Amino acid sequence: MSRLQALYDSKRMMPTDAAGLVRDGDTVVVPTGVGEPPALLHALSARRHELRDVAVSQILPLRKFAYLDPDTRANIRHDAYFFGGASRPGGQAGWVDYVPAYFSELPMLIDRGLLPAEVVVSLASPMDEHGYFSLSLAPDYTMAAIRRARVVLLEVNPNVPFANGDCLVHISQVAGLVESDEELFEVGLPEIGPVQQAIGKHVAELIDDGSTLQIGYGGIPDAVVMQLQHKRDLGIHTEMLGDGILSLIESGAVTNRRKTFMPGRTIATFALGSRRLYRSMHRNPGIEMHPVEFTNDPYLAARNDNLCAINATMQIDLIGQCGSETLGHLPYSGTGGQADFVRAANRSKGGKAFIVLPSTAKNGAVSRIAPVLSPGTHVTTSKNDINYVVTEYGVA
């Protein structure tokens, strides 16, 4: 038996034992979306009546874990960096707290101790021959949290790809290992109707061959992707790697050949999509996963000439303020990386920042373009950063 395998075996434990390493008052940091480790989090949930003042911090939880319940708040509460379907009801009812921050700056806040991170739990690939695990699904802010944490717990799953990039954790950094083989959470492409298709066509007409793309979260950015299959030599520098981007790679539209920063590679900080997407990442030299302070740094991303950032908003006013994260005073999503990439595209030589939205909501009864934002709406992207605004009717 090798030294590394012996070390691995010494750290292997049951989920209940791993969850037992969490103490009262700890903050448990969980990666974005698919990177969440279900066995570890279910085991933590099972302790929800014995722990006190424990926080679970995450972007976009995908599963409804038992601690996402108002009755457990005094024991385990959820601090949301970004709301998803599982956490949104709690945010709107007021028993889930929101942490306002740019996605790119979460690692800095963790590094400085402004956001606590005593424990990190994450899905990880199997260990390689050098003792490294890949946190390929979401290195995001998780790598920064690992630097600060007292306890790092990995849920090792053979379905997690071993990806290239700055997303590796050595076994010497890990306190406990839990093994599972649960299939990874899959997220399908959103339904795209005529309005979304029209918006996608308008944006695609303004994207030149050789541009580098950031594709935001949501149905309209995916509709843009569908209109780009005929383009050539596109590049990718983005936060989210999804099936739309995979389709551009497979069609030959994305080659990354003409990128002026990190050419030849698709760059992202988290993956969210199908099993096929996750498999495509495995030891793929053309895809690299990096922490969010790298991918979303506006100054680094802007080193790509002709950077086109495509992001959706829910409402915009007549001076250009974008409300992309709340419905009036009700939280819906979060700040995320929209402002990071809007600013990056504006700094990029030849760059274009697109804000996309349908012109109306509620079957045409309510305009999304308003003289002023609805009362209570949070401004995600300021009027000073607006470049292109696109609806189904055209471009402004």
Q: Residue 28: in which H helix or E strand, if any? A: strand 27-29
Whole-angstrom distance, CA of residue 218 vs CA of residue 304: 23
Whole-angstrom distance, CA of residue 216 vs CA of residue 330: 21
179 belongs to the catalytic site = no
Instruction: Provide the token pair at 248.
Output: 């551009």
Whole-angstrom distance, CA of residue 177 vs CA of residue 166: 21
DSSP 105: G
> Which residue is catalytic, options 155, 239, 288, 325?
239
Q: Assess contact for 309 and 214: CB atoms under 8 A.
A: yes
- Distance, C-alpha 279 to centroid of its chain: 18
Q: Assess contact for 226 and 248: CB atoms under 8 A.
A: no
Whole-angstrom distance, CA of residue 283 vs CA of residue 127: 13
**Exposed/middle/buried for residue 347 (C-beta within 10 Å: 0-12, 13-18, 19+):** middle
| Alpha-carbon separation of residue 247 from 209, 222, 241 (angstroms) | 16, 11, 11
Q: Assess contact for 307 and 348: CB atoms under 8 A.
A: yes
> Which of the residues are catalytic?
239
